[in-house]
A and B are shown apart, each in its own frame.
Chain A
Amino acid sequence: MSGLLKLALKLLLGDRGKFLTLVIGITFAVFLMMLMTSMFFGIIQHSAANIINTGARIWVMDPDVQTPQNSIPMPDYVLDVVRSIPGVEYAVPLYVGAGLVRLDDGTYQAATVIGLDDATLFGRPALLAGRTLDIYRNNAFFVVSDANYAKLGSPKLGTTFEINDHRGIVAGIARVSIGSLFGLPTLYTTYGRATQDLPSTRYVMSFILAQPKSAADIPAIKRAVARLGYRALTDAEFTTRNDRFYEFQTAMGTNILIMTLISFIVGLSIAGETFYMFVLDNLERFGALKAIGARSSELVTMILYQSLVVSFLGFGFGMLLASALVAFGKLRIPNYAATITYQNILMALGMVLLISGISAYIGIRRILRIDPFVVFRS
């Protein structure tokens, strides 16, 4: 480390009270921003659970569909046409709908029902109990063991229930990588059974899941599907479309954005004011350095370094606290949807650098205007 930076560090660490206040201020701001954004990303990620869990490369849907929860059924011929597109390796239908499960105690519980292609079971979940082929047994369903599992009375293998006045039997307990956001238990069955047992509109096919022969075929597939009057999206595009819907067409995104901005302003206020006070307290020292022969650029370097040290420490502690709380929350609260991703880490880092930049700018303006003569006269 250069002597100049070491000197800056010693000046910073020498004032323990202000140093700790600065670090705590930024830690608090990072903690709040991380919690807000991780909650937001978690909610968004959980809202896209069906896309992520199914794992299909291309989703074909009605052009008005925004999210995997709200499909507009398509006629069966679309599946045949998609299968005939040259770049498509295979395509299967998917049913996503809701059923009403009657529990043993006579109460009803709504559930999401996903019907998988009978021939391939493409998009099936991993099983914790039971065998995959058992889904072909009469009235068989797989129940997803997630935060909403208990709402069905935590059924075991062989448990029977009623769904939309049809008999159902639990043939497997499944797990998925991302739980549903909407508080409904999830049942998997075959496409044939789902479309047969659940009352529906004239058309029943919610989505077509397609696999391209190669990534280069995707644009041609999208064009061919568009000519049919439907839309083909890659899983990433569909996830983005789903994200945009929740960000901009519901109040969720706006509210969390406001809360994130508030945490940013709180952090900026604490860090900016404390750093400015730190600079004011050290004006005489910086004036002395200027009088000894420090260039303005060197003083700016010192201030920026001090600001960055405080910011990175605050960022680290804030991250640690937020991660610990999110991890603890996930252990204790099954529905807790917060997720820390690279995006919100980078976002918090960007915010912290902005806070430190603004704080440093305020200090630098003051430092550059110091007149060593005034310092010495005082």
Chain B
Amino acid sequence: MILSVRGVSKWFGEAPARTDALRDISFNVDHNEMLYIVGPSGSGKTTLLSVISGILRPNAGTVLVEDKDIWRFDADSLADFRLHTLGFVSQDYHLFPRLTTLENIAVPLILRRVPWEEGLNKARQVLEIVELKDKAELTPNRLSGGEQQRVAIARAIVAEPDLLILDEPTASLDGDTGRRIVAFVRQQILNERRAIIVVTHDDRIYEYASRIIHMEDGRIIERPQSAP
């Protein structure tokens, strides 16, 4: 088991104006598993991903990654966890507009103190995997939405994280491209020592899930089941 979420709750504000975003969430994720978290807007999916990713502290509960409670880490250890264990692709990609595609992908390696040229070489290899070899020197504003999505994924996987988290990976892609990217992620990234969590609305990509959990009003409303 790579991830264990136990009794996680998160709320914003104080009573009586308190908003409960997550209510007593518990689930596990195994190695070589591609878990989907699905549900309507406002159900707490992105908040849950943020808690798992170590960027939003929960009010209650624990998040164990490889049996370590990440919310007991100090700030630097939490940053190290995000850098060395996690790959995160947000809905808006958050690419660096002044950097080329290649440099964008190399950022996690640079933060890991990999020398600049070595980082670019590794990024070039990953760029081939996401089929953007000819876009290496372009800046993000010259890429299409799908291409930006693939750059964000490349950036998330370049440092070979154990846990890859994708927030709405197909939100701005057409059906075929979305399916191709998710299929690609499943085939190329998922392996015996890695797991992938995907938050999505898009039922066209459910076929790639190992398991799907449903969220509504900050709760898991169905126990995890095998995907169709």
Q: List A residues at the B interface (Cβ < 8 Å).
A: 1-4, 6-7, 10-11, 13-15, 284-285, 287-298, 371-373, 375-377
Contacts and interface: CB of A to CB of B under 8 A. Distances in A.
B53 interface: yes
Contacts of B79: 290, 293-296
A14 to B, nearest CB: 2
Nearest to B93: A288
21 contacts: A3-B110, A3-B115, A3-B119, A4-B111, A7-B110, A11-B98, A11-B99, A288-B94, A289-B107, A291-B82, A291-B88, A291-B90, A292-B83, A292-B108, A292-B155, A293-B79, A295-B75, A296-B79, A371-B55, A376-B46, A376-B55
Given A4-B113, A7-B107, 19 more contacts: A2-B113, A3-B113, A4-B111, A7-B110, A10-B99, A14-B97, A14-B98, A285-B96, A291-B88, A292-B107, A293-B83, A293-B108, A296-B76, A297-B76, A298-B111, A376-B90, A376-B92, A376-B94, A377-B46
A375 B94 contact: yes
A371 B82 CA distance: 14
B8 to A, nearest CB: 15
B103 A10 contact: yes
Contacts of B90: 291, 376
Nearest to B51: A373
B84 interface: yes
Given A10-B103, A294-B79, A3 B50 contact: no
Contacts of B88: 291-292
B56 interface: yes
Interface in B147-180: 155, 167
B116 interface: yes
Given A10-B103, A293-B80, A373-B50, A288 B96 contact: yes
Contacts of A7: 99, 103, 107, 110
B106 to A, nearest CB: 8
B143 interface: no
Given A291-B53, A293-B111, A11 B96 contact: yes
A376 B88 CA distance: 11
B221 interface: no
Nearest to B81: A293
Contacts of B111: 4, 289, 292-294, 298
A6 B94 CA distance: 19
Contacts of B92: 376
A163 B16 CA distance: 98
B114 interface: yes
Nearest to A287: B94
Interface in B91-148: 91-92, 94, 96-99, 103, 107-111, 113-116, 119
A372 B55 contact: yes
A377 B10 CA distance: 15
User: Which 9 A/B pairs are nearest by Cβ-Cβ distance?
Assistant: A14-B98, A293-B83, A3-B110, A293-B82, A288-B94, A373-B56, A372-B55, A3-B116, A295-B79
A304 to B, nearest CB: 17
Nearest to B139: A14
Contact of A291 (B55, B109, B113): B55
Nearest to A285: B96
Contacts of B83: 292-294
Nearest to A15: B98
B110 A4 contact: yes
Contacts of A2: 113
A29 B167 CA distance: 47
Which of A11, A288, A289, A292 is the most central at the interface, judged by chain B CB atoms within 10 Å of its CB?
A: A292
A56 B80 CA distance: 66
A135 B29 CA distance: 103
Nearest to B86: A293
A296 to B, nearest CB: 6
Nearest to A12: B98
A287 B55 CA distance: 10
Contacts of A289: 107, 111
Contacts of B96: 11, 285, 288
A293 B84 contact: yes
Nearest to A368: B75
Contact of A14 (B84, B99, B155): B99
A7 B84 CA distance: 19
Contacts of B113: 2-4
A195 to B, nearest CB: 76
B110 A376 contact: no
A335 B68 CA distance: 76
A287 B50 CA distance: 13
Contacts of A6: 110, 116
Interface string B26-64: 000000000000000000001000100101100000000
Contacts of A377: 46
